A and B are shown apart, each in its own frame.
Chain A
Amino acid sequence: MGKIVLSLRNVGVRFKLSGKGAQQAYNQPLKGITLDIRAGETLGVLGANGAGKSTLLKIMSGALQPDTGELINHGVNVALLALQAGFDSNLSGRDNALFGGMLLGYTRREVTLRLDEINAYAELGDYFDEPVRNYSSGMASRLGFAISTIISPDVLLIDEVLSVGDAHFKQKAERTMLQKIASGQTVVLVSHSRGQIANLCDRCVILNNGELIEGENLDDTLKRYDQIMQRQ
Chain B
Amino acid sequence: MRLGEMSAAAVILEKARERYARHASVWLVSAEWARLLHDRDREREFLEQGLAKCPEQWEILYRSADLQVRQGNLIQAEVFNERARAADQQRIEPLIQHAELAEKCEDWPEAESRWHQLLQRKPEHKQAYARLSKVLINQGRNQDARRYRLAGQYGAELLEPVKQPNAEANSKGSAGKFHFAQLVLTKALLGLKSETSRTHLNYAWVVIEPLLHLIIYYMLFGQLLNAGVENYGLFLLCGLVPWMWFAKAISTSATSIIGGQSLMLTTNIAPAFFPLVSVVQATLKQLPALLCLLALGLATDIKTLSWNLLWLPLIIVLQLLLTISLALLIAAIIPFLRDLANLVGTGLMLLMFLSGVIYDYRAMPGTIGQWLEYNPMAVMISTYRRVILDGNAPDMSGLCFIVIVTTTLLTCGVIFYRLQHRKFVRQGLR
User: How far apart are B144's CB and chain A's nearest CB, in angstroms?
Assistant: 9
A174/B154 in contact, CB under 8 A: yes
A184/B167 in contact, CB under 8 A: no
Say if the beta carbon of A152 comes within 8 Å of chain B. yes
Contacts of A41 in B (CB 8 A): 143
Interface residues on B, range: 35 or more
B143/A40 in contact, CB under 8 A: yes
List CB contacts (< 8 Å) of A154-191 with chain B. Answer: 154, 174-175, 178-185
List CB contacts (< 8 Å) of A97-154 with chain B. Answer: 98-99, 102-108, 110, 114, 131, 150-154
By beta carbon, the residue of chain A nearest B185 is A108
User: How far apart are B395's CB and chain A's nearest CB, in angstroms?
Assistant: 41
By beta carbon, the residue of chain A nearest B168 is A152
User: How far apart are A110's CB and chain B's nearest CB, in angstroms?
Assistant: 5
Say if the beta carbon of A64 comes within 8 Å of chain B. yes
B162/A180 in contact, CB under 8 A: yes
User: How far apart are A18's CB and chain B's nearest CB, in angstroms?
Assistant: 8
By beta carbon, the residue of chain A nearest B161 is A183
List CB contacts (< 8 Å) of B142-166 with chain A. Answer: 142-143, 146-147, 150-151, 153-155, 157-162, 164-166
Residue in contact with A91 in the complex, picked from B151, B160, B190, CB distance below 8 Å? B190
Query: Which one, B226-234, B262-270, B278-286, is touching chain A?
Result: B262-270
User: How far apart are B129's CB and chain A's nearest CB, in angstroms?
Assistant: 11
When chains A and B are docked, how far (Å) is the Cα of A202 from the Cα of B149? 12
A64/B425 in contact, CB under 8 A: yes
A175/B143 in contact, CB under 8 A: no
Say if the beta carbon of B191 comes within 8 Å of chain A. yes
By beta carbon, the residue of chain A nearest B160 is A179
B197/A58 in contact, CB under 8 A: no
A86/B179 in contact, CB under 8 A: no
User: How far apart are B164's CB and chain A's nearest CB, in angstroms?
Assistant: 6
Known: A107-B182, A184-B143, A202-B146. A88 touches B154 (CB 8 A): no
When chains A and B are docked, how far (Å) is the Cα of A175 from the Cα of B154? 7
A95/B193 in contact, CB under 8 A: yes
A61/B154 in contact, CB under 8 A: no
A152/B162 in contact, CB under 8 A: yes
A175/B158 in contact, CB under 8 A: yes
User: How far apart are B366's CB and chain A's nearest CB, in angstroms?
Assistant: 48
When chains A and B are docked, how far (Å) is the Cα of A105 from the Cα of B169? 8
By beta carbon, the residue of chain A nearest B172 is A105
User: How far apart are B184's CB and chain A's nearest CB, in angstroms?
Assistant: 10
When chains A and B are docked, how far (Å) is the Cα of A121 from the Cα of B60? 51
Interface of B is mostly: helix
Residue in contact with B262 in the complex, picked from A16, A18, A85, A181, CB distance below 8 Å? A85
Interface residues on A, range: 35 or more
A80/B423 in contact, CB under 8 A: no
User: How far apart are B185's CB and chain A's nearest CB, in angstroms?
Assistant: 9
User: How far apart are B168's CB and chain A's nearest CB, in angstroms?
Assistant: 9
User: How far apart are B132's CB and chain A's nearest CB, in angstroms?
Assistant: 14
A107/B171 in contact, CB under 8 A: yes
User: How far apart are A140's CB and chain B's nearest CB, in angstroms?
Assistant: 15
Contacts of B179 in A (CB 8 A): 102, 105, 107
B167/A58 in contact, CB under 8 A: no
Say if the beta carbon of A82 comes within 8 Å of chain B. yes
When chains A and B are docked, how far (Å) is the Cα of A58 from the Cα of B266? 8
Contacts of A178 in B (CB 8 A): 150, 154, 158
Q: Which of B153, B195, B197, B264 has the most CB of A within 10 A?
A: B197
Say if the beta carbon of A221 comes within 8 Å of chain B. no
B194/A90 in contact, CB under 8 A: yes
A91/B193 in contact, CB under 8 A: yes
Known: A41-B143, A183-B161. A65 touches B194 (CB 8 A): no
When chains A and B are docked, how far (Å) is the Cα of A185 from the Cα of B40? 51
B154/A183 in contact, CB under 8 A: no
When chains A and B are docked, how far (Å) is the Cα of A91 from the Cα of B142? 45
Say if the beta carbon of A212 comes within 8 Å of chain B. no
Say if the beta carbon of A63 comes within 8 Å of chain B. yes
A65/B190 in contact, CB under 8 A: no
A152/B165 in contact, CB under 8 A: yes
Say if the beta carbon of A200 comes within 8 Å of chain B. yes
When chains A and B are docked, how far (Å) is the Cα of A183 from the Cα of B151? 11
User: How far apart are A212's CB and chain B's nearest CB, in angstroms?
Assistant: 21
When chains A and B are docked, how far (Å) is the Cα of A42 from the Cα of B193? 41
Closest 5 CB pairs of A and B: A82-B266, A90-B194, A65-B422, A182-B147, A183-B162
A-B contact pairs, 25 of them (CB 8 A): A42-B146, A63-B266, A65-B426, A82-B267, A85-B266, A88-B190, A88-B191, A91-B197, A98-B190, A102-B179, A103-B269, A107-B171, A107-B179, A110-B165, A110-B167, A131-B197, A152-B162, A152-B164, A153-B169, A174-B154, A181-B146, A181-B150, A183-B161, A185-B162, A202-B142
Give chain A's interface residues, CB within 8 Å of chain B. 15-16, 18, 40-42, 58, 61-65, 77, 79-80, 82, 85-86, 88, 90-91, 95, 98-99, 102-108, 110, 114, 131, 150-154, 174-175, 178-185, 199-200, 202
Give chain B's interface residues, CB within 8 Å of chain A. 142-143, 146-147, 150-151, 153-155, 157-162, 164-167, 169, 171-172, 175, 179, 182-183, 186-187, 190-191, 193-195, 197-198, 262-269, 422-423, 425-426, 429-430
A-B contact sample (11 more), CB < 8 A, given A77-B169, A99-B190, A152-B165: A63-B265, A65-B426, A79-B268, A80-B267, A105-B172, A110-B167, A175-B158, A178-B150, A182-B158, A182-B159, A199-B153
